[in-house]
Amino acid sequence: MARTDGDRWDLASSVGSTATMVAAARAVASREPDPLIQDPYAAPLVRAVGLDFFTKVVDGQISFDDGDDSGAARLMTDVMAVRTRFFDDFFIEAARAGVRQAVILASGLDSRAYRLDWPAGSVVYEIDQPAVLEFKTTTMAAIGAAPAAQLRTVAVDLREDWPKALRDNGFDDTAATAWSAEGLLVYLPPDAQDRLFDNITALSAPGSRLATEYHPDAGASIGARTRALREQWAGHGFDVDVSELFYAGERTPPADYLAAVGWRVETRPRPEVFAGYGRRFDVTDDLAALRDSLALTAIKGDDR
């Protein structure tokens, strides 16, 4: 189902189902030999959502790549493992630098507030749709999980006045903040992407940090692969065309936009990020465009 202005979702529908898909990939990656990540909450959360296909994946009854000869499904698990580790390390390094306030935008089934080793005094804000946050909070409590930092959930759509909602929940815009926008940008219209960065910049004290990722083709190559995977996964009961959830259109490259408003930006292409974790980014020709995806980190300068 294509996106509409003001659309809503839970973790079994629309954009929310992609958060469940990503959590399932984290669960699979966590049980690999010599895993890059350990997310003990991913599988229980996926089971609680109740989408049959992803439940069977996390329980080992089927795999993402059953019947897939393109390598796209296998690559998805590898990408999620590396991506998760990249953002884990981003928050850990920010904490080591003295940052004690973190904001996870479009948090979905992210469990970092529970599983990372946050220093004393850390406050983690999660922003997402009300139904998403209510589900995760209830489920984590039911399985006996306790946050490892002070967790404050902010139930607001990013298309609404989320900066006000964040401040109303105690956010301190005079303190340095670590921001993550993981797997988010392709789900925003191009102008909304710019507004997101404007809002982050306005809320960021000097020394704040930001991590995100950018696909120069605005998700076109990802969309092509997810359409192919839909045909495979539909036979297992998951019939969501993820590509319909993306917003097309010309985008300002985040590195350029952020540099222009006072951030010191570094980018690394996906193969380099993989290599940094001892992994090879091997793709077939039809997935070659994914090599151009960039991991981005930035630090806010002295001028607000």
Residues 101-147: tens digit of each pLDDT: 999 999 999 999 999 999 999 999 999 999 999 999 999 999 999 99
Per-residue pLDDT band at 281 (split at 50, 70, 90) = confident
Give 176-196 pLDDT, tens digit per residue.
999 999 999 988 889 999 999
Q: What is the pLDDT of residues 186-240, one digit of tens each?
A: 888 899 999 999 999 999 999 999 999 998 864 555 555 566 566 666 555 665 6
- In the sheet that holds 294-300, the strands lie side by side as 150-155, 123-128, 101-105, 178-181, 209-214, 294-300, 263-269
Q: Domain coordinates of the chain in residue numbers?
A: 68-300
Has residue 166 got a pLDDT over 60? yes
Partnered with residue 297 across adjacent β-strands are: 211, 266
pTM: 0.91
Annotation: CATH topology of 68-300: Rossmann fold (3.40.50)
Q: Annotate the chain with three-state secondary structure.
A: CCCCCCCCCCCCCHHHHHHHHHHHHHHHHHCCCCCCCCCCCHHHHHHHHCCHHHHHHHCCCCCCCCCCCCCHHHHHHHHHHHHHHHHHHHHHHHHHCCCCEEEEECCCCCCHHHHCCCCCCCEEEEEECHHHHHHHHHHHHHCCCCCCCEEEEEECCCCCCHHHHHHHCCCCCCCCCEEEECCCHHHCCHHHHHHHHHHHHHHCCCCCEEEEEECCCCCHHHHHHHHHHHHHHHCCCCCCCHHHHCCCCCCCCHHHHHHHCCEEEEEEEHHHHHHHCCCCCCCCHHHHHHHHCEEEEEEECCCC
pLDDT at 111: 97
